[in-house]
Chain A
Amino acid sequence: MPEPLLEVRALDAHYGDFQALFGLSLAVSAGEIVAVVGANGAGKSTLLKCIAGAIKSRRDAIAFCGEPIGDLAAHEVVGRGIALVPEGRRLFPSLSLEENLLIGGQLGRPGPWTLERIYELFPALAERRHVPSSALSGGQQQMVAIGRALMSNPRLLLCDELSLGLAPIVVRDLYARLPSIVREGTSLIIVEQDIVQALKAAQEALCLQEGRVALAGQSATLSHDAIAAAYFGT
């Protein structure tokens, strides 16, 4: 069995005195989509921030391609090949659409994702490339946010709440493009409130509850009741 792309081992995370994650472990294989679901405050975003390096962890708590990266700074983690699409899009308001994409690629990592390729993936963006990012719709902003992360040619893409604040049809459209991202060689971890959408897209799923893994397995085999129980902790 090949080495997992990403391995999280007994990860703890704290915000001051408050502990958000308790000895959390998970693994992501190349070519996979893994969904992480759970109620608000369960620790989903915290998990992604730890992997992305926005929160510093124990050195060996996170391993990527076999290398420990737990204590690397965020910009170094991007250099290793992990990119985060932050919750709420968080585009740079002073930059235009295209500049937001370009800045994602400023590390110059080699790979299939270029400006043209992003515009192929999201054709709606091509015609608005010079528009200031603050003038875009929610769905378009989410596309730019994904594109910005893809421009660093990551091997692992972390998506935090893609569906937040978006209409269902827009969400479906976004999720329809995920498989082509995986085909180009990028694995995904998607954190989602929309459980149905998440389980449809992912092969594996984890449910977090108060900083711990309450349920894990192949998404196809997880029953509705089991997920509800894990989600709410009953």
Chain B
Amino acid sequence: MTGWGNIVIQGVLIGGLYAMFAAGLALIFGVMRLVNIAHGDLIVLAAYLALIATDALAINPLAAIAFVAPAMAALGYGLQRGLLNRTLGDDLLPPLLVTFGLSVILQNGLLELFTADSRRLNAGAIEIASFQLAEGVWIGVLPLIQFVAAIAVIGGLQILFYRTALGRAFRAASDDPSVAQLVGIDNRHVFALAMAISLAVVAVAGVLIAIRTNFDPAIGPARLIFGFEAVIIGGLGSMWGTLAGGIILGVSQAIGAQINPGWQILAGHLAFLFILAVWPQGLFPKIQG
């Protein structure tokens, strides 16, 4: 029985990471109805930036977040203001195709710069440290840190959205962009800030995943898909729902892997499709898709 207990716990912990992939995605969809197909590839970019930072500065990858997060945030601001703001509008083709093009550019650019070799960030002893929660139940320190980080990020985003002036501006610009302009909100700036925050979250997620598993330029789309599945399972418009979605996805994958290692990812997809079939709005929906 504790065998399955361990499985579920592992699933819950990685679900936090998936929720972090999802949080960045959900944030910008909530604010400006944009789905960034390059989201997963940006996570991978963050991983490579962390690689450069740890190599150049000889620091622990977790400390590299202090460099990668601001860099990615700046990139996000520039990307939104310089490129993506122009694609916003009623037609959904331009933002979709531009971010798809961006995804291809990122993957192939990283391929040219870093080759297809698998990399991994070395975080030292913390990678294998674990402690015993109960009889026969072990929790890795690193996965726990990742889970706590996810909760902190989502909690932080909730506070940002509902308790700050910037969050008010996000919600207003999302409700009615033209009236938002009429009360003095500069939409171009606000949207760019939203993207900057989204990419800061992406940076944290990227560093954490780079410590956890091997990465190469091609793993981006899978991260996008996990984030997307977590958002849909949880329900659009609910940040905590996204956490629940991530956990459900993580646990499904863990159970699938236990039955047959080759079924891990597939189990997650099937859980997603099942929930899509039965609860199309997700489990904790707040807004219409």
Contacts and interface: CB of A to CB of B under 8 A. Distances in A.
B137 to A, nearest CB: 42
Interface string A48-89: 000011100000000000000000011100110001101000
Interface string A30-55: 00000000000000000000001110
B182 A103 contact: no
Contacts of A106: 165, 168-169, 183-185
A54 B186 CA distance: 12
Interface stretch (A8-16, A91-99, A113-121, A195-203): A91-99
A90 B175 CA distance: 10
Contacts of B169: 103, 106
B179 A92 contact: yes
Nearest to A99: B168
A152 B183 contact: yes
A5 interface: no
A75 B180 CA distance: 8
A92 B172 contact: yes
B175 A93 contact: yes
Given A86-B179, A106-B165, A94 B172 contact: yes
Interface string B87-103: 00000000000000000
A149 B179 CA distance: 11
Nearest to A90: B179
Contacts of A79: 184
Q: From DSSP, what is the main secondary structure of chain B's interface residues?
A: helix
Chain B contact patch, size range:
10 to 19
A107 B175 contact: no
B174 interface: yes
Given A95-B168, A99-B168, A104 B183 contact: yes
Contacts of A86: 179, 182
Contact of B168 (A78, A103, A107): A103
A94 B175 contact: yes
B181 A75 contact: yes
B178 interface: yes
A148 interface: yes
B183 to A, nearest CB: 5
B112 interface: no
A102 interface: yes
A102 B182 contact: no
Interface string A135-157: 00000000000001100100000
A52 B182 contact: yes
A148 B168 contact: no
A193 B186 CA distance: 31
A103 B183 contact: yes
Contacts of B135: none
A186 to B, nearest CB: 16
B171 interface: yes
A181 B115 CA distance: 67
A95 B165 CA distance: 11
Contact of B165 (A92, A102, A152): A102
B117 interface: no
A107 B181 CA distance: 12
B171 A94 contact: yes
Interface in B165-212: 165, 168-169, 171-172, 174-176, 178-187
Given A54-B178, A86-B179, A92-B179, A78 B184 contact: yes
Nearest to B30: A94
Contacts of B172: 92, 94-95, 103
Given A92-B179, A94-B171, 10 more contacts: A54-B178, A74-B181, A75-B186, A92-B175, A103-B165, A103-B169, A103-B185, A106-B165, A106-B183, A106-B185
Interface of B: 165, 168-169, 171-172, 174-176, 178-187
20 contacts: A52-B182, A54-B178, A74-B181, A75-B181, A78-B182, A83-B183, A86-B182, A90-B179, A94-B171, A94-B172, A95-B168, A95-B171, A95-B175, A99-B168, A103-B168, A106-B165, A106-B169, A106-B184, A152-B183, A152-B184
